[in-house]
Amino acid sequence: MALRRFGRPKGVEGDSSPNLFVANCGPAVGLSHETIASVFSAFGELREVCSADESGVRVIVSYCDESSAKAALEALDGRPCPDLGGRSLHIRYSVLQPTLQGKVNDSVPVSLVALDLNIPGLYLLHDFVSPKEEEELLAAVDDKPWKGLAKRRVQHYGYEFCYETRNVNTRQHLGELPSFVSSILERISLFPNLDNHANIVLDQLTVNEYPLGVGLSPHIDTHSAFEGFIFSLSLAGPCIMEFRRYTEGAWLPNTSSTSTKVQTPENGPNFLRRAIYLPPRSMLLLSGEARYAWHHYIPHHKIDIVKDRVVRRGPRRVSFTFRKVRTDPCQCEYPQYCDSQ
């Protein structure tokens, strides 16, 4: 859902506008746009009520004339509103900002199924594990030591991913993958989209814990480090994952990053965007084009907009990412995205 850009009117504080920025009010606190409109329409004819941002707790109320907006502001600002759950609203005038030429929308429509994204090699299975299995998996990793990074915690099994070199040291084997993921590995072998690769052996597991509001920068898992199948199990909290396919010349590696990252401005029309909702207990498979040519990215949000519905992220999200360490040079069909080229 694209959000319209509003800001404070230029000039003195008293400048008016037919648009009101209303805080402490929105779907995230149980107030639908229809309910909000029913209250504000008492002061004049409304054009619309829309989200002010992705928080779900701030809206823009637009009137057909400034006098209606002024009446609503004077009546409701800073006062509890019985018809809106007794919430005290914080209101100021707002104006629609011009859109910069070439500016990319902050958000992209979010799909619930992988097929809608039309990205070859991308698959998503809902309810890959049961709630009981989810609880047991989380308890198992919480019983193990975590390694702290800048904004999240990680655990490595099988082989450690070296963030400084963006690669795996194959001479430092940490042992077999832990027994608490054995049933997951067995179930992965039955994944319906593996074709003739049902006997694939996964030997590396990274467990990531993301606190509320923490996401992941756009990247492609290093080609030279891992082979062509990447499985990611989402636990504890939901999120949106966005996929970006950059046009030729728009991709540049960052040798100091944890993986192949992009150095591309966000205000250019030089990449395709898709987004999918990852509910807890779902398993995502990246293979082929989806694995090698599309950057994946988790926005740094506390709340996501999915099909015009506000979805709150949990206090934590934990992902189990299973991969196969590469022992031979990458020979994929996308050398322009390969770090070893």
pLDDT tens per residue across span 84-119 = 989 999 998 987 655 433 333 456 889 999 999 999
CA–CA dist 257, 298 (Å, integer): 16
193 or 318, which is more confident?
Answer: 318
Nearest 10 degrees: Cα torsion 69, 75, 77, 83: -100
> Does pLDDT of 319 surpass 60?
yes
* Strand 295-298 with 6-7, pairing: unpaired
pLDDT band at 8 (very low <50, low <70, confident <90, very high): low
Measuring CA to CA, which residue among 313, 283, 285 is closest to residue 298? 313
> Does pLDDT of 131 surpass 60?
yes
3-class SS at 61?
strand
DSSP 209-247: EEETT--EEEEE--TTTB-SEEEEEEESS-EEEEEEEEP
233-277 pLDDT, tens digit per residue, is 999 999 999 999 987 544 444 333 334 433 444 444 577 899 999
> Does pLDDT of 138 surpass 90?
yes
Instruction: Please state the rounded mean pLDDT for residues 188-200.
Output: 70
Instruction: Please state the rounded mean pLDDT for residues 308-316.
Output: 85
Measuring CA to CA, which residue among 130, 135, 160 is closest to residue 145? 160
185 or 30, which is more confident?
Answer: 185
pLDDT band at 195 (very low <50, low <70, confident <90, very high): low
Contacts of residue 298, Cβ cutoff 8 Å, sequence gap at least 6: 210, 215, 216, 239, 240, 241, 242
Tokens 């009137």 sit on residue:
63
pLDDT band at 158 (very low <50, low <70, confident <90, very high): very high
The secondary element (H helix, E strand) that includes residue 38 is helix 33-40
Task: Fill in the DSSP letter of residue 292.
Answer: H
pLDDT of residue 311: 86
Measuring CA to CA, which residue among 175, 309, 304 is closest to residue 234? 304
Check: pTM over 0.75? Answer yes or no.
Answer: no
Average pLDDT over all residues of the chain: 83
Instruction: Please state the rounded mean pLDDT for residues 173-184.
Output: 95
> Does pLDDT of 68 surpass 70?
yes
pLDDT of residue 97: 56
Measuring CA to CA, which residue among 56, 57, 50, 44 is closest to residue 96? 50
For 26-50, give one letter per residue: b (16+ CB within 10 A) or e.
Answer: bbbeebebeebeebbeebbebeebe
4 or 265, which is more confident?
Answer: 4
190 or 64, which is more confident?
Answer: 64
**Fold of the domain spanning 6-96:** Alpha-Beta Plaits (3.30.70)
Q: What architecture is domain 110-250+270-337?
A: Sandwich (2.60)
Residue 286's DSSP bridge partners are: 122, 230
**How many percent of the chain have pLDDT more than 90?**
47
CA–CA dist 56, 24 (Å, integer): 9
> Does pLDDT of 324 surpass 60?
yes
Measuring CA to CA, which residue among 199, 210, 276, 266 is closest to residue 243? 276
Instruction: Please state the rounded mean pLDDT for residues 150-154.
Output: 90
Measuring CA to CA, which residue among 19, 44, 22 is closest to residue 33? 22
> Does pLDDT of 126 surpass 50?
yes
pLDDT of residue 268: 46
Domain locations in the chain as residue ranges: 6-96, 110-250+270-337
